[in-house]
């Protein structure tokens, strides 16, 4: 597992349009989300960094339902990483009881358009779907009991209240996205 930090895409960047299949059997697009904020998380099944936070992410999705839509997008190459295949995604979403859509970016176009590089990579957009946060979930990815600062939660609450973006924003870190060979 190669540790990679997010690239800290410039704040204000628009959310790229997308239409992707979800593990629930439907196609999801950017325009399906009508909440004041939107959190897009580039994630996967096999990454230990994602596995360490997915319960916290699911709790966040439940806590902000109706205020901040959460969507998970898996962009990993399923040929080289079969644990990240669409079928495996379905099984993982069922097992974890995800309270958010889990989408498959098989062609990796959405991850590239967003500037995502690692799993998990978090992108919080405001009501105009402009980037207001691209940092980490909190200050302890490994151990939820040792978290002292919930930066993504603070960013969501700030965006909902109309405040300026959280400063500073610390990069997320995790496994590199498993890009397909071209």
Handedness of CA 77, 79, 82, 86 (dihedral sign): positive
Architecture of domain 36-176: 3-Layer(aba) Sandwich (3.40)
Report which of 182, 16, 26 is spatially closest to residue 107, judged by C-alpha positions.
Answer: 182
Q: What digits encode the pLDDT tens for the residues 12-24?
A: 999 999 999 999 9
pLDDT of residue 1: 54
pLDDT of residue 109: 97
102-104: strand order across its sheet: 102-104, 68-74, 37-42, 121-125, 131-133
Strand ranges inside the chain, DSSP E = 3-5, 19-21, 27-29, 37-42, 68-74, 102-104, 118-119, 121-125, 131-133, 173-176
Q: Distance between CA atoms of 131 and 4, rounded to whole angstroms?
A: 21
Q: What digits encode the pLDDT tens for the residues 34-62?
A: 999 999 999 999 999 999 999 999 999 99
Q: What digits encode the pLDDT tens for the residues 85-141?
A: 999 999 999 999 999 999 999 999 999 999 999 999 999 999 999 999 999 999 998
**Residue-averaged pLDDT of the chain:** 95
Cis upstream peptide for 128 (omega within 30°): no
**Nearest-5° angle of CA 138, CA 110, CA 2?**
50
Q: What digits encode the pLDDT tens for the residues 66-81?
A: 999 999 999 999 999 9
């Amino acid at each position: 597992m190669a540790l990679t930090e997010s690239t800290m895409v410039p704040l204000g960047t628009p959310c790229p349009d997308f239409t992707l299949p979800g593990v629930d059997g439907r196609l999801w697009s950017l325009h399906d989300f009508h909440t004041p904020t939107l959190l897009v998380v580039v994630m996967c099944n096999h990454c230990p960094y994602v596995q360490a936070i997915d319960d916290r992410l699911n709790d966040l999705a439940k806590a902000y339902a109706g205020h901040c839509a959460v969507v998970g997008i898996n962009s990993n190459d399923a040929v080289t990483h079969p644990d990240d295949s669409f079928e495996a995604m379905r099984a993982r979403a069922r097992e974890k009881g995800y309270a958010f859509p889990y989408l498959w970016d098989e062609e990796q176009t959405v991850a590239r358009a967003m500037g995502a590089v690692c799993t998990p990579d978090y992108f919080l957009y405001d009501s105009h779907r402009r980037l207001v946060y691209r940092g980490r979930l909190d200050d302890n990815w490994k151990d939820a009991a040792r978290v002292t600062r919930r930066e993504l939660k603070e960013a969501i609450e700030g965006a909902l209240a109309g405040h300026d973006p959280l400063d500073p924003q610390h990069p997320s870190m995790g496994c590199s996205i498993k890009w397909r060979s071209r």
